[in-house]
Structures are given as structure tokens and as C-alpha cells.
Copies of this chain bind each other. A is one copy, B any other.
Amino acid sequence: MNILIINAGSSSIKYQLIQMPSELIIGKGLIERIGSENATVKYKTKSVDTEEVMLIPNHSAGFKKMATLLMDPDQGVIANVNDISIVAHRVVHGGNTFSDTTEITQEVKDKIKELSILAPLHNPHNLEGILLAEEAFPTARQIAVFDTAFHQSMPVKAKKYALPNELYTDHRIQAFGFHGTSHKYVSEKAISLLKLKSSKIITIHLGHGCSITAVRDGKSVDHSMGFTPANGLIMGSRSGDIDHSLIFYLVNNLGYGMEEVNALLSKKSGMLGLTGLRDLRDIEAKAKTGNKECILALEMNAYRIKKYIGAYTAAMNGLDAIVFTAGIGENSSTLRSLVCTDMDYLGITLDPAKNESKSSNIREVGSTEAKVKILVVPTNEELEIAKQAFGLS
């Protein structure tokens, strides 16, 4: 069975065609800068690897282009639309409604739309992707996989804020959590690798967005992102945790507008604000030449992660493993090392040689004697989405 995974953003469509249960990727690609004359269209199969720059005026055109490529007589991988059994959509916000992967009905679409108020930058585009997929692949089942679903298991004490109760009961103001598909995928990999029955694991997703989850017996019990993906760890351009009163100070005393502050915190802060650089590779390279801002930014980043590890160890009263994943987590031995240094009181000790060795496989990088395992687990959100969609079929 072929499952098409769709991740539709504000100006992009990311797609992957996966054969299940073999888990074989038969085609994938990315359309970026939708709405411009210089949109890029990337497409890759076993035998083809192309990139075109062209006019893609809107998402609808993007979808048509993708379908055309997949069914192209020369470069394609399927004969016609009927070869796709399921289209599985990544949807960012499932609110309190969706704690699991769901077949898309009119009701589900209404709900995703309604939840746009909680994720205005994501849900509307995810929904547009669904509508276009229904048109383009009318014979396929449409399935939604929610970023927030994995965190629906968080206990109330972890997800509720200390605000007037009616904000929780009447206005759904609570922590939802994000990156759920990734945290679920890597925690399951870790649990199966370590053959744990009962387990206390911390998964650390470090990409452009960064988040950390306490996973007890396979279930998310606490998580660093909250009502939105703004807080918690230091990210590429997001501040993560701050004293919220700063917002009032910036507006009342430094003359910022509200939306300006919002943009400052989400687009000009984090590692970018601290170093002027976006890519962790550049920051690491500059730190190696002795640049003080870059050295400090890496230290701050690691220090925040350390504190969350401690917090979740206390929350679970124990720790079997920590798991690094995503672009930075999988590749930056520097950051892993900064996080794991001087953490032996909690049972965490790195094996420096193992940590340095490059690999794209799941691997242990902790010292063998240490109480807590340290794993690097490459994440694969598309595969997790395919698995969940396949599980529903």
C-alpha cells in the first residue's frame, strides 16, 4: 500500500510517498516559495533527483505539480491516482479534541479549522492541504496526524497554568505540547532498543524548533513547549522561556508595539539573537575560533537543556535514558557534550569517543557504566505518520 505524507506550510509543501509495511520511500520532494515566480520544486526517487525553479502561484498549483511529477510517464513512480491508498496529513494543532490519528471527515475538518485560532500559522495551511488532497486524490483515504496528540496524556498538573480557572475551562488555555510525532517515534525506538518494560525517558528534539519531553512508560507526562511552540528551550530564532513581564516592559518602557515584541521573541531571538547566526554549524565554527558570543550562546543553550533534564528527572523520580534527536541532536556532538558534562549526579556520563563518532543510525553514546543511557535516535516524522496511518487502515 502506498501512503502519501503531506506537510503543508504557509509557502511550502513537503511530501513523501512511502510503501507500507515495507517502509520504503518511493518518492519525495519539497515545493518552496509558493506564491512566487521563483518557487523551487524538488523531487527525488530511486532514479531521479531534480530541482526546478518556476512559477507556482498557489498551493493548488503546487499540488498539481506534485501529482504530475509522481505520475509522470518518465520520472514518475505511480501510474495513476488510484495507486495512492492513503494521504496522511501532518496537522499541527489538535487541541484537546484529537488524542490520536484520525480519519478525516467533514467534522474533523471543521474542528481543524476551529483550532486555527490556536495555531494561526499552521492549521489553515494544513487544512488547505487536506482540501487539495481530497480533490487531487479522490479515491484515497485522508488521515490526519496531529503534532499535539502525543502530549494529550500529560497530567493536568503538567499542562495547566496557574491562572484563573475559567481560562482553562472556558478558553482552553493550557500547555498542548508540540513535536509530538518526533517525540513519540524516538521514545518508542529507545524503549525497544533498551528493551525496557517500565521506563523513564527524556527525549530532546533539537532542530530549528527545540523541545524536550518526559516520557514515562511510553507516554508524554511533561513537555517544554506550552500553549504555543514559543517557550521552553532556546531555539534557532525563538527565545524559549523568559520572564513574561519583559513583554510589558518592552511595550511600556522601550516603546515596542505588541506585534513587534511578538516578532522579536519568535523571529529575532534564540541563537540568532545571541549570535547573529541561524545555523548551529556556523555558530559552532565561530565558537571554535574563540568568538565569545557564540561560546556563550552554546553554553546557555546546553544549560537550559540540563535544567529541563533535571526537572523531568525530578518529575518522574528517576531516569533510564535521554535521547537526542533532530538536526542538532543527531549531529552536534558539541552540544551533546555540553549538555552531558557534569551531570553524573543524575547518572548521566558521556563516552567522548562514541559521542564523536559520526553515524546516521540509532546509537548509544553514554559511558557503559553509567546508570542512564544516552542515545542518539534519528527522528523520522514522515515514517511515524505513515505507520500511524497504516495502523488505522
Contacts and interface: CB of A to CB of B under 8 A. Distances in A.
Interface of A: 117, 156-158, 160-165, 171, 173, 175, 222, 225-228, 230-231, 234, 239-249, 251-254, 258, 262, 264-265, 268-271, 273-274, 293, 296-297, 299-301, 303-304, 306-315, 317-319, 342-346
A299 B162 CA distance: 11
A344 B314 CA distance: 9
Contacts of A314: 306-307, 309-311, 313, 343, 345-346
Given A310-B314, A314-B310, A317-B344, A249 B227 contact: yes
A270 B157 contact: no
Contacts of A225: 243
Output the residue of A156, A243, A313, A315 with the most chain B CB within 10 A. A243
Nearest to A318: B345
Given A117-B253, A231-B243, A296-B157, A165 B310 contact: no
B273 A162 contact: yes
Contacts of A161: 239, 242-243, 246, 269
A296 B157 CA distance: 7
B245 A230 contact: yes
21 contacts: A161-B239, A161-B242, A162-B304, A163-B242, A173-B249, A231-B244, A239-B244, A244-B244, A244-B247, A248-B258, A251-B258, A306-B311, A306-B314, A307-B311, A308-B311, A310-B310, A310-B313, A313-B345, A313-B346, A314-B345, A317-B346
Given A162-B297, A171-B254, A226-B243, 9 more contacts: A163-B246, A163-B269, A163-B273, A164-B264, A164-B269, A165-B273, A242-B244, A247-B247, A346-B346
Contacts of A252: 258
Given A171-B254, A314-B306, A345-B313, A300 B244 contact: no
Nearest to A214: B307
Contacts of A313: 310, 314, 345-346
Contacts of A311: 306-308, 310-311, 314
Given A158-B303, A343-B317, A265 B244 contact: yes
Nearest to A238: B162
Nearest to A176: B243
Contacts of A307: 222, 311-312, 314-315
Contacts of A342: 317
A69 to B, nearest CB: 38
B162 A270 contact: yes
B249 A262 contact: no
Given A249-B173, A343-B317, A163 B264 contact: yes
Contacts of A157: 296, 299-300, 303
A157 B360 CA distance: 31
A301 to B, nearest CB: 8
Given A273-B164, A344-B317, A262 B243 contact: no
Contacts of A312: 307, 310
A164 B345 CA distance: 33
State the 7 A-B residue pairs at the shortest beta-carbon distance, nearest first: A310-B314, A226-B243, A307-B311, A310-B310, A164-B273, A228-B245, A244-B244
Contacts of A253: 117
Nearest to A237: B162
Contacts of A304: 162
Contacts of A296: 156-157, 160
Nearest to A175: B243
Contacts of A297: 162
